[in-house]
Structure 1
Amino acid sequence: MDHSHFHEHDHSQNHSQNQNNRIEALDYLRGLALMGIILVNIGPLLGILEPASAHSLDASYWRFLYLFVEGRFYTIFTFLFGVGFYIFLTRANAKGKKGYRLFLRRMAALFVFGLVHVQFHPGEALGLYAVCGLIILPFYKASKIMNLVFGTLMLIAFAAFSIKIFMVVPLMLLGIAAGQYRVFEKLQPKKIAVFTGMMLALSAAGLTVQAQYAPVQIGVATEQAYLQKQHFIRTGIAIGPIVSAFYTGLLLLLLQRRLFQKLFSPLKDYGRMALTNYISQTVLILFAGNLFDFDGRISYLQSLYLCLIIYVLQFIFSTVWLRYFRYGPLEWIWRISTYWKIPPMRR
């Protein structure tokens, strides 16, 4: 399922007292990750039935989802959690605060958010993130080479077996390594272009292989159809981190231009309030499901329209909210539980 989706939470950036201290590229990426996560999470939340007709638009959208969305965005979110973890501890320690103690409180609060959220969304990832946050704590002190190599090798091993839940820790380790290498503080357009080009080539190869297994009949219950579908989905999970890396590189490349920074500014606000928006995605989906009795009666394509409406509502809310307040509502509560003091909310 979508465990991972929880990933969010790297709000860590919020820590910077002054806003210009934020690494804005991370907010844009977090926003992008959230946009992909809801497309996958809405299926299980509304009990969407798989398309029966092989050549319907619904079946085409289902295939699109598993080729380009499923397993592509929670990976970005999880990686960003690792980056945020590193920045949070480094900044806290630089200010002479007890970084580890603050981080433990932060994870405890995240776990509580997850405990509440999981009652409504069984595939949620906040609780998983909080637990994995403790697992990666010792790696903060490890060398950047070790985190990079160990994270990469672990990720390749778990990806080969398509074990999504186990991929969370290595993705976080790679995030820590990115923090240690200060990748986001000093983005170099040439290097991003080379990286993105390499990931595009690998993604194209991986997606070509995955597409070979795309099932014609999706909602059909024969054993052969089931096995083909599983092969298609497992291949997608295995190549997920490569496609995610391409998406990440492409967005960073576009953000080198002022035009795209302006164009995507709603995405930045959306990502700054990632915890609030992640949880409110669930609230809005379930609210619409109950209000219109969608449960088990909505197609994949109809779920896309509902997601588009939720994007509009959340983008507007995030942009307007951050015009008047420093933090998203849940980010503010998370901050209070981390620092045990109430930060000023109004701008």
Structure 2
Amino acid sequence: MLFVRRLLVLLVFGLVHHQFQPGEALLIYALLGFLLLPLYRLKPGVNLSIGVLFLLSACWLGPIGISLGMFLFGLWAGQNKIFEDVRQHKKRWIVAMILSLVLIPLGLWAESRIVDATGLVDIAMVAGGLPEDVFYVTALTLLLELPFMKLWLMPLNRLGRMALTNYIMQTVLILTLDAVLNLSGQAYYLILAMIAIEILVIQAIFSTLWLSRFSMGPLEWVWRIGTYGKIPPHFSKQA
């Protein structure tokens, strides 16, 4: 019931955000979360198999099939607790990282061929993106086992702890910049990339400063209230 309330609050965030940013992720994630509720009691191997089937069904289900497949991969990973003791399975992590890196060129080639031959962009994205996703996750996970990398990547930790706030604030910032600078259809990709980097840097600094004073982000705080039906204690670290 607690998870249902959490999804309902996320659904409200998604409905509001969708009015300003059609196609945003929160609404879809909340709806898919309800679909996954019956599956969390299944065995990990069953969820992994269903996840593969959803990915293969992307040509019929489109992005929904891809998202459900990736969500089930995440559920399988959580059930197996593969992120809780990385050192114990370090060799497997390294093998997965190397194998995914080797498969990236093949995936990109398959992505291009599928688009040219069929026009099925969703299927092509699975073929090209899955090896990259696995490589990013495994590489970052292994890097975070190194003490000095934990220090260097700490801004990502701060961004992640305020993911909901930062995600919605990105829309606010982008729409504001578009209204002021009239970027739509006139900005080069390089300029847009530079703006994106600047937004991330600003958000990393803001998140670090905010979390030095508060225990969670402002929208995470609202989410917590909606989920538990009460104001969480110790919102301010200096209270």
CA distance in 1, matches of 2:35, 2:91: 35
Task: Report the counterpart of residue 76 of structure 1 in structure 2.
Answer: none
Structure 1 moving runs of 4+ over 4 Å: 211-214, 227-234
The aligned runs of 1:1-347 (5 Å cut-off) are: 101-158=1-58, 163-187=62-86, 188-210=89-111, 230=119, 235-344=124-233, 345-347=235-237
CA distance in 2, matches of 1:203, 1:161: 25
Query: Deviation string for 1:119-172 (max 9, x for gaps)?
Result: 1100101111111111000011111111112212322332x6692232111211
Greater relative contact order (Cα 8 A, min sep 6): structure 1 or 2? 1
CA distance in 1, matches of 2:44, 2:183: 48
CA distance in 1, matches of 2:82, 2:114: 36
- Gaps of at least 5 residues in structure 1 are 1-100, 215-226
Conserved 8 A contact 1:164-1:237: no
CA distance in 1, matches of 2:187, 2:127: 29
Conserved 8 A contact 1:162-1:235: no
What TM-score comes out, normalization by structure 2 length? Answer: 0.90
Query: Deviation string for 1:91-138 (max 9, x for gaps)?
Result: xxxxxxxxxx11111111001000110011001011111111110000
CA distance in 2, matches of 1:137, 1:192: 28
State the identity as a percent.
41
Letter in 1 for 2:10: L
CA distance in 1, matches of 2:121, 2:51: 25
* Structure 1 pair 260–241 and aligned structure 2 pair: CA distance change class (3 A): same
* Structure 1 pair 147–231 and aligned structure 2 pair: CA distance change class (3 A): closer
CA distance in 2, matches of 1:213, 1:166: 17
Conserved 8 A contact 1:273-1:327: yes
Give the RMSD, CA atoms, in angstroms: 2.2
What TM-score comes out, normalization by structure 1 length? Answer: 0.63
- Gaps of at least 5 residues in structure 2 are none
> How far apart are 1:232 and its partner, in Å?
7.3
Conserved 8 A contact 1:145-1:177: yes
